[in-house]
Structure 1
Amino acid sequence: MGMSKKASACAALLLCFFLQLSSSVNARFAPSQETQRADGLCASLVLPYRDYACQEFVAQTSDGFLIGVQRMWRPDILKGKNAQPVLLFHGILTGGDVWVINPPGEGLGFIMADAGYDVWITNYRSTEFSYGHLSYKPSDKGFWDWSLDDLASEDLPSVLQMIYSKTGRKVYLVAYSEGAQSTLAAFSQGLCAELVSKAVLMAPVSYLTSGPQLIYIASTLRLQRIYEALNIYQLNTRSPGGRALVDLLCAKSSVKCYRDWFRLFSGFTCCINSTRRAYIDEYETQATSVKNLDHYSQQVRLGTFGKYDYGEEENMKRYKQKTPPDYDLSKFPSNQIPMLFISSANDSLANIVDVEHLYREIPPGFQRRAVENFGHLDFVFGDTANRVVYDYALEFLA
């Protein structure tokens, strides 16, 4: 059946938008190499505050991605001491900038450095402050052939191993949203938990029986199939074309987006300073793969927390079964590593029903805190997160 003129126009808009996102990648890096970058996270968001030092590193995954990692600290506080390293791991459609986009006293990266920690920030593979791929460019399909499974099996282990090699110490891990979900997936498979001595999981996404508007739309429309038919493999909204794309997606559903990516991607927010929205928009959102978003929508459709569904034939090749296997949360080491979970009943992505489901699945022994009236993005962008959320994390880690 042929496409209508309206559908053809929509397809053309989508295709043009994504072709504009292609850019060249400088991939001349060795694993765990320190580098310099004039437009990097250190130069853009940390070093302008003169009390802080910051270095850029590149961690290479076994599948060829070059992960941007930043190390920040307070020289006047550490004075050559071998401080405890702590890794901050961000969520979907954001980058490591979320930890330092709010100023000192509010951003968790600054707060941890002020407390005397050796702070490491990671940026997963497709985000602005990472360094691309050894072989693929962002215009290549292979650059976007990944999902949560790969963040758990590649990105997190590679960064933790690099930090351990640099410091010789086990790491404190603070993971948020998809960072927490990747931690759950990695640790439940026995990956890299031996490199972590304490963990804080904030807004811990796992099961997704429901979700904010974008997840609902993706689940309803099966966006993976639509985009693959158009040879489109990434989602990014940081351009006028990207905002038009969001509105186009919303027009295909009964959901009204109001051109507001905050509400579209995370639902309710309470505590983000409206005067800082334009500044946040300079950095967010950041690109993720359509496959990763489809993995989220799969969890909504199936009601499971499991690996990516490739279809029966490919599942048999990869998993030796017709359906994707669930992550075995009974093996998650919440009874072996000190852990704190922080959630909110008003979080529409890590909602209270799904978080309680998670708590029933993992072994006992962890600590939990519930904060009031906080939405998903408030955990990183909220100007009250320092006292509503981060004080719990600092107290636990101390």
Structure 2
Amino acid sequence: MSNIENIFIDRSKRESETRLKYSKYIFNSHLIMFLIIVAGAVIINYSSWLTRASNFELHTVFIVVSILFSYLLVASKVKTYIEEADSVFLLPLEQYYSKIASRTVLITYIQQLILLVIFYFITKPITDKIGSFNKLGLVILIILIAFNNLFKLAEVIYFQEKVLTKGLLFITIFSQVVGIFLKLNYSLYLGIMLFILLIFIAVQEYNKLKKEAGKEAEFYYLLKWNEAAEYDKHRKERYLKFVNMFVDVPLKGIRVSRRKYFDILLPRLKRNNFNQENSFSYYYYRVFLRQENTIYLVLRLMLIAGIIISSFNNIYVSVATIISYNYLAIIQLVPLYKQITNNMWHNILPVSEKVKVTSFKKLLTIVMLVSSVILTLVSIFFGELNLFNFIANISAFIFSSILSKVFISKVK
């Protein structure tokens, strides 16, 4: 028991250290300053909105936030810490894994309870106006959150993941949340009935598995090592893709695929594309549009920035967002050149390094220019039409362009 326990404790510590390391890069002084500004704007706008919001608007916002909260609980992945080689080397000790898995679920459960507390305090100003509080329903919700994590773990290591059960979990949690804070009895009853149905499904899955394995087989021998390892690998990759929005991380297994809907953005193939000066320009365009950690990085950051600008409708927030977007995007795109140069195909054509660097700088300049123009137009569209706002938006565009130029010049 101690050997397998030490292995998984060590993996847990290494992952925690890795997350801590990346967190230091993500939450640097620039981002923290930006988050403080955004948090202040959120609090001011939220308190102002509460004074003038209608009953319908209060209900709508609460339901939307409840949907988001329920989705986060269901979509969050449980940690298995299982790797591919474990199916061979840890097979004799698999009877002890269930105890280790229970500890990881407990950590996730505590994190989700903290999320529940945050949800409560965020929505309390709304629920004070439109609803009340059901203590019994809260107790059931706390038990339901524990069941949610245990059932997801069982699906990963014993059963099989199904969209239907995830949908039922989402509806159950959402019904319970709405019933608790809006005191809708029918919603509470629906949540309880669905909870009982989920327990029944879990028992049925367990009996089905035992029947397939034979009556004499112990339950722990049914652990799906390969599926659990693939699940945990995907969980880690998803986290690294999120971190890659802020800092450069070593992503394994980056997929490159043609996206026909982006072909319209590629320059037309002409004879000039194949001369020495332009040969790598077309190549870089294709790389940018087909790697999953490039084009989607820019689009995700643009989407977040656009939502912030349109939501707060505050010129100071808009200016800070445009500049922050440029900073976060460019520091991620500049290292892309080194990743490309590690590819064998990058060195086949007899083209000088100066031409390659110039072509890559041109690509980054166009990407940052176009995205900055779009965000500036969004800020102008959602803001008040006056001279001060116009000058502030143009100034933010100019400053962010200069910032991008400084980082682009460092490409070598």
Q: TM-score, normalised by structure 1?
A: 0.23
Q: TM-score, normalised by structure 2?
A: 0.22
- Bigger radius of gyration among the two: 2
